[in-house]
Structure 1
């Protein structure tokens, strides 16, 4: 299968670690030019160095607070100044914040929406004109499978992630005429720093594979997902192999979700 990512330029938010980092690595291996962004410069330097060591390719990294519109604008402008174009935006930045409704303060609501909703809006808004100039592009909004069927005590994350799904569909309708595709992925239980810390504190005597199966007993595939598995799906969605896919969401959850 030809992904045709050679020479494409991708901006990935929240890419100093986790799904963003693995997706960046995969895109570089497929020939894309990648811009890493996150708040922490030191972690970005480490991520860029690791990608360089494994692939031999340099990546640009730009410390960015995407809760600030001016930072989003600067991120896109610096990307275009450096590479001359932009083809892909992956709105991956986010945190897990899950509490009962009455326990969520106004400040927490605003912070979550600024990061997960307005961050995606602003990064996309400033990238779209540059995508038009090169004949199209691809945007992926990383959301959560719980956004489709929110459980109790899952606020504000499920609300902001549900907004990301609505944003994806609406953007796909508006931007399809410009050959700009917009999709989302809904993440389930994927290997992360948080899960690894639980493993080391709760069951360090188990191998990761055994712990993954233990934690994933309620998941139809019977295990925790690997970060690379999420990166693979995102890479497909931004590639030419998915050229007729837009306005949809893909669950990366091992079958645990209760909605398509």
Structure 2
């Protein structure tokens, strides 16, 4: 299937590793012009080389801390200077921070919201004029299933992610008349550096496959791969999903208690 991404311009945040990196690579494979950003230049340089080796395509990087409004605007400016527009924005920057409620101080609450919620808000505001000028703009906000079904000791991440989901739904209605689609993917357990550290700490005697398959609360019987997450994000920003907006898709192997 032709996803209609040839020549489209995409920004992917938090793209030096994990889901962001895999999404950038998948978009490049489909013919998109991709700009990646993250805080660490060395990791970005490595990511660019990995993508080029896998796809044969050049991608560009800009160092950016999404909590810095001027840095966010700089990514957008450099993208437009190089590619003359923006069609796609994937807000992926963020980390997991899950703690009992009474252990979370104001600084941790503020920092988590600033990174995950306001980071997305800053990028959407900066990119919006160019998305409005595009033939069809697309935004995907990467959130988490915990934002839909928060559990005990899930703070502040569950609250930040729930806010990102509300942002997605509201914007899908407001930006629909501009032909901009806004969706969210709600992540469950996906292989990452954090999960791999947990594997080495909790079950160093097990293979990855054995550790992955030990989570009995996942109906599909294993932890997800970054490529599986990237495939869904790429679909959502493509022409194949041209009538999908305001949608939240769980990428969790069926573990969430909600549709």
TM-score scaled by structure 1? 0.97
Measure, in 1, the Cα distance between the counterparts of 2:141 and 2:113.
14
Shift of 1:258: 0.9
Aligned counterparts, 1:92-131, within 5 A: 92-131=92-131
Q: 1:72-87 maps to which residues of 2 (within 5 A)?
A: 72-87=72-87
After TM superposition, give the deviation of residue 84 of structure 1 in Å: 0.7
State the Cα distance separating 1:196 from its structure 2 match: 1.2
Cα distance, 1:198 vs structure 2: 2.2
Equivalent residues in 2 for 1:147-158 (5 A)? 147-158=147-158
Q: Report deviation, 1:134.
A: 2.1
Residue deviations 1:73-126 (CA, integer Å, cap 9, x gap): 111111101111100000000011111111111111111111101110110111
* Runs of 4+ that moved beyond 3 A: none
Q: In the comparison of the two structures, how many residue pairs are matched?
A: 259
1:194-205 matches, within 5 Å, as: 194-205=194-205
Q: Which residue of 1 aligns with 2:258?
A: 259
| Distance in 2 separating the partners of 1:230 and 1:78 | 27
Please tell me whether residue 13 in structure 1 is matched to residue 8 in structure 2: no
1:241 and 1:111 map into 2 onto residues whose CA distance is: 36
Task: Give the whole-Å Cα distance in 2 for the aligned partners of 1:251 and 1:91.
Answer: 16
Shift of 1:153: 0.8
Name the CA distance, whole Å, in 2 between partners of 1:136 and 1:123. 17
Shift of 1:207: 2.1
Question: Equivalent residue for 1:164?
Answer: 164
In structure 2, distance between residues paired with 1:201 and 1:40: 26
Shift of 1:208: 1.5
User: Residue in 2 aligned with 1:228?
Assistant: 227
Q: Tell me if the contact between 1:135 and 1:178 (Cα under 8 Å) persists in the aligned partners.
A: no
* Structure 1 counterpart of 2:186: 186
Residue equivalent to 1:52 = 52
CA distance in 2, matches of 1:45, 1:39: 11
Stretches of structure 2 lacking an aligned partner (at least 5 in a row): none
Taking the aligned partners of 1:194 and 1:99, their CA distance within structure 2 comes to 15
- Give the whole-Å Cα distance in 1 for the aligned partners of 2:198 and 2:113: 27
Gaps in structure 1 of 5+ consecutive residues? none
- Quick one: distance in 2 between partners of 1:136 and 1:6? 13
* Alpha carbons of structure 1 residues 202 and 100: separation in structure 2 relative to 1, 3 Å: closer
Q: Which residue of 2 aligns with 1:240?
A: 239
SS at match of 2:213: helix
- Tell me the equivalent position of 2:31: 31
TM-score (norm 2): 0.98
Partner Cα separation in structure 2 for residue 170 and residue 142 of structure 1: 15
Counterparts of 1:6 and 1:196, CA distance in 2: 34
In structure 1, how many angstroms separate the alpha carbons of the residues matched to 2:190 and 2:246? 23
